[in-house]
Structure 1
Amino acid sequence: MASTSRTRTGRGRGRGSGSSSLPPPPSTLPLIIEEFFIVVYEDPLVKKELPKKFADYLDGKEPAKVYLRAADCGPRLWTVEVLFDGQGRMYLDKGWEKFAIAHGVDFGCYVHFKYEGDDVLTVKVFDGTMCRKYYYSDDEDTDDESDDDVKPCIHPL
């Protein structure tokens, strides 16, 4: 039997002399902070500090307020005033207490935020066991005066 030699050609991914499809190193990636979370270690009803990287991501834009929307729970937006301390730290202030009460934010909760743009943050609340809390409001109004009509949310399918 004659011996045959085979030459491999660059047919697979990442092989051969083609250009690399690897992502750029992390230092060259743009800073995009769309999602973050906070852990509630102290009084859940007082102002909450957001991560400094998120405040930096806003690149000097200091909104007077943001609008919180509970994920999967309708179109309701909760208006929350924002404070900046002059040292780059950003806090959720007036309006946070109503949102926190209505959505069961308590000691040990993890609160996940996703920045949607236009000062809107979609929020998911997880309890101390890392399980998601679900809530909905019967009214589709964005008026903060009717915050008492909040009921447990039916788990989305």
Structure 2
Amino acid sequence: MASTSRTDRRGRGRGRGRGGRGDGSSSLPPPPSTLSLIIEEFFIVVYEDPLVKKALPKKFADYLDGQEPAKVYLRAADCGPRLWTVEVLFDGQGRMYLDKGWENFAIAHGVDFGCFVHFKYEGDDVLTVKVFDGTMCRKYYYSDDDDTDDESDDDVKPCIHPL
């Protein structure tokens, strides 16, 4: 009868059955339904006007269920410490939108049709953002100021794209 185990290069067995440690416990991770839902990264694709409110994935809105913020703070990756305040809308059907303040962020970071915008939730209502253009290449920026969230919404200072 053939064995169901194999030996790797270091001479350790790689069993294919359950309880490979011999103690009756499974070495497999728990089924997905028992894992807590952690949504910390997601992206959106800009198909319509890049300056109007943007819908975020429903899974992310579900993750924030019960903690829906009135605003979030966007930080462009590699663009200094500045936080951009963006108001958030919830539509009552579980959808979350970036609203007032998104337009300024989008202008300053060159968000346009066909861009992919990657978000990473850092906690405390802060999202770090990376923008990829239509060629699927990341746009890199730097900031030459130390301004934070103290600027008015009408004062849009773009990050500068390195030459």
Identify the TM-score tier after normalising by the shorter chain: 0.7 to 0.9
> Percent same amino acid at aligned positions?
95
Cα offset, 1:145, TM superposition: 3.6
Deviates more, 1:18-27 or 1:112-121: 18-27
Q: Is the 8 A contact 2:4 2:15 kept in 1?
A: no
Distance 2:69 2:118 in 1: 20
Question: Could you list the runs of 5+ residues in structure 2 that have no partner in the other structure?
Answer: 8-13
Structure 1 residues 95 and 149: alpha-carbon distance in aligned structure 2, compared to 1, 3 A threshold = closer
Cα offset, 1:126, TM superposition: 0.5
Structure 1 residues 12 and 134: alpha-carbon distance in aligned structure 2, compared to 1, 3 A threshold = same
> Pairwise mapping of residues 113-152 of structure 1 onto structure 2 (< 5 A)?
113-143=119-149, 145=151
Cα offset, 1:60, TM superposition: 1.9
Structure 1 residues 10 and 31: alpha-carbon distance in aligned structure 2, compared to 1, 3 A threshold = closer
Structure 1 residues 106 and 26: alpha-carbon distance in aligned structure 2, compared to 1, 3 A threshold = same
Q: 1:6 is matched with which residue?
A: 6
Task: Name the SS for the 1:97 alignment partner.
Answer: helix
After TM superposition, the runs of 4+ consecutive aligned structure 1 residues lying more than 2 A away are: 1-7, 9-21, 143-157
Structure 1 residues 16 and 93: alpha-carbon distance in aligned structure 2, compared to 1, 3 A threshold = same
TM-score by length of 1: 0.81
Cα offset, 1:29, TM superposition: 1.2
1:84-118 Cα shifts (integer Å, max 9, x gaps): 11111110011101100111100000000000000
Structure 1 residues 111 and 12: alpha-carbon distance in aligned structure 2, compared to 1, 3 A threshold = same
1:31-51 Cα shifts (integer Å, max 9, x gaps): 111010000000000000001
Structure 1 residues 151 and 143: alpha-carbon distance in aligned structure 2, compared to 1, 3 A threshold = closer
Structure 1 residues 75 and 15: alpha-carbon distance in aligned structure 2, compared to 1, 3 A threshold = same
Distance 2:72 2:162 in 1: 25
Report the RMSD for the aligned CA atoms in angstroms.
Answer: 5.0
Structure 1 residues 127 and 19: alpha-carbon distance in aligned structure 2, compared to 1, 3 A threshold = same
Question: Could you list the runs of 5+ residues in structure 1 that have no partner in the other structure?
Answer: none
Q: 1:45 is matched with which residue?
A: 51
Structure 1 residues 147 and 73: alpha-carbon distance in aligned structure 2, compared to 1, 3 A threshold = farther
Task: Name the SS for the 2:142 alignment partner.
Answer: strand
Cα offset, 1:75, TM superposition: 1.0
TM-score by length of 2: 0.78
